[in-house]
Amino acid sequence: MSTRDYGVSRFFVRPRVTLLALLLASLSLVTISYKSQGSGIAAVFQKSLKSITDPIRSTANSVIHPVEDVFSGAFGYSSLKRRNAVLKNEIATMKNQEALSSKLESEVQALTALANIPFAQGLKSISAVVDNYSPSNTQMTVNIDRGSSQGVRVGEPVVAALGLVGRVVSVTGSSSTVLLISDPSSYVGVSLGSSNQVGMAVGEGSFQTIKVELVNPGTSLYKGEPVYTSGLQGGVYPPNVPFGKVSKFSSNPGSLQEQVSLTPMVDLSSLQFVKVLQWLPGGAG
pLDDT at 51: 58
pLDDT, one tens digit per residue, over 136-180 is 556 799 999 999 999 999 999 999 999 999 999 999 999 999 999
User: Under a CB-based contact definition with an 8 Å cutoff, are residues 7 and 23 in contact?
Assistant: no
Residue 79 has pLDDT above 70, yes or no: yes
Q: Residue 43: helix, strand or coil by DSSP?
A: helix
pLDDT, one tens digit per residue, over 9-39 is 444 445 555 555 555 555 454 454 444 444 4
User: Under a CB-based contact definition with an 8 Å cutoff, are residues 110 and 272 in contact?
Assistant: yes
Q: What single letter denotes the amino acid at residue 254?
A: G
Share of the chain above pLDDT 70, in %: 69
CA dihedral 249, 250, 254, 256 (to 10 degrees): 0
The CATH class of 117-285 is: mainly beta
126 vs 44: which has the higher pLDDT: 126
Work out the angle between the directed axes of helices 15-36 and 40-115 (0-180°, nearest 10): 120
pTM as predicted: 0.65
Domain boundaries, the chain: 3-66, 117-285
123 vs 4: which has the higher pLDDT: 123
pLDDT, one tens digit per residue, over 232-266 is 766 789 999 999 999 999 988 888 899 999 999 99
pLDDT at 22: 54
- Under the banding of pLDDT at 50, 70 and 90, the label for residue 107 is confident
Q: How many CB atoms lie within 10 A of CB 172?
A: 12
pLDDT at 58: 59
pLDDT at 50: 58
